[in-house]
Amino acid sequence: MAEFGGWEMPIQYRGVLDEHRACREDAALFDVSHLGTVRVSGAGGFDVLQRAFTNDLHRIEPGRAQYTHLLDPDDAHVVDDIIVWWVADEDFLVMPNASNTRRLIDALDFDAPAIGERPAIADITETRAVLAVQGPAARRRLRTVSPEAAEVGRFRVARIEVSGVDCVVAGTGYTGEDGVEIQVPAAAAPDLFDALVGAGITPAGLGARDTLRLEAGLPLHGHELGPGVTPLQANLGWVVRFDKGRFRGSLALGAERERGVDRILRGIAIDGRQPAREGATVYAGDVRVGAVTSGNFSPVLGHAIALAFVTPGLDIGAAVELDVRGRRLSGRIVPLPFVGKRA
């Protein structure tokens, strides 16, 4: 039985490669309770979130989810990347990285007076767990536990009874595969975890989660996002809606857009299996052009891959070299994701 008190995700259950392949080829189960959950409810909730975040909630509606960013108001760096679950008319579940939950609440509290109505803002992280079922067979296997949860579509959100317990289910995830995330009361999480494993879903840990998100080209806070990194530098301009009006950090980010970024996040395919880890220098010829933020071996591709901030002039297909403890590894700039969602 899984343990959900004092959450700490294991690196692996039976092996990173096996868990990675289970997610790419069948279905895997991740305990992602390390995410925070802030409930924003009541009048003014929409306006507070709209003013705080980069994306535009007018583009979705109740029963939908949206990926967005919270920026620093001074230099527009990404304080956190966040998923908003719009559960009902005046009921939102906002999911930051848990370490940033207090900063998120402070930002929402700061912006609330500007919109005239203060919604209820509550940290409910300790009251729930979040289980992610991911992979091409995720919905088929989940259907034996909860047919209703299995029908929640991509970036859809619904309140559903799962195994006799009221849950919120969203068609979101962090692996590049299809699937759902289930927010379940903490006390009921061990039984649900066991039921999902009993349905043939492979439990997977932090190691597989990282190799999966890297193959999918997804940023990780503290690596591709965080202090000094703006959405434009992270090649995530699509998550910013300048046309919606002023939001937290919009002036600083607008100024960067006008002058242009001095670095951009790119994917690098590396010849051979040896990975280039965070901090490895990227060269084009003898010129230093950037540094790796995340790197690992790709189980699907059979060679190493990396994300790196490089100078904007490097186009797709450009040859590069990566310095790993004095040894140069050959690579090339490639489009993201490295591995797309498979049927």
Longest pairwise C-alpha distance within the chain = 62
Give the end-to-end CA distance of the chain in Å, rounded to a whole number: 31
SS3 174: coil
Distance CA 264, CA 219 (A): 13
CATH value of 262-334 in 2.40.30.110, 3.40.30.10, 1.10.520.10, 3.30.70.1050: 2.40.30.110
Is-contact 12 208, C-beta < 8 A?
yes
CATH value of 16-35+126-215 in 3.90.70.10, 3.30.1360.120, 3.90.550.10, 3.30.530.20: 3.30.1360.120
The ranges of the chain annotated as CATH 3.30.1360.120 are 16-35+126-215
Is-contact 333 317, C-beta < 8 A?
yes
Tokens of 214: 């890297």
Sheet order of strands, 157-162 included: 157-162, 165-170, 179-185, 128-134, 28-31, 202-203
Is-contact 341 276, C-beta < 8 A?
no
The ranges of the chain annotated as CATH 2.40.30.110 are 262-334
What is the number of alpha carbons within 13 Å of residue 309 lying toward its C-beta? 18
* CA separation, residue 294 to residues 55, 211, 221, 234 (Å): 25, 10, 11, 13
User: What integer pLDDT is reported at residue 118 of this predicted model?
Assistant: 86
Other C-beta atoms within 10 Å of 249: how many? 25
What is the residue whose two structure tokens read 């997804």? 218
Question: What CATH code is assigned to 38-123?
Answer: 3.30.70.1400
Q: Which residues partner with 169 through β-bridges?
A: 158, 182
Other C-beta atoms within 10 Å of 341: how many? 13
DSSP string computed for 150-164 = HT--BTBEEEEEETT
Q: Which of 293, 236, 292, 234 is nearest to 264 (CA)?
A: 234
Is-contact 19 205, C-beta < 8 A?
yes
Is-contact 305 215, C-beta < 8 A?
yes
- Residue by residue, pLDDT tens for the chain (343 residues) are 344 544 567 899 999 999 999 999 999 999 999 999 999 999 999 999 999 999 999 999 999 999 999 999 999 999 999 999 999 999 999 999 989 999 999 999 887 766 677 899 999 999 999 999 999 999 999 999 999 999 999 999 999 999 999 999 999 999 999 999 999 999 999 999 999 999 999 999 999 999 999 999 999 999 999 999 999 999 999 999 999 999 999 999 999 999 999 999 999 999 999 999 999 999 999 999 999 999 999 999 999 999 999 999 999 999 999 999 999 999 999 999 999 865 5
Distance CA 72, CA 329 (A): 36
The ranges of the chain annotated as CATH 3.30.70.1400 are 38-123
Distance CA 179, CA 120 (A): 30
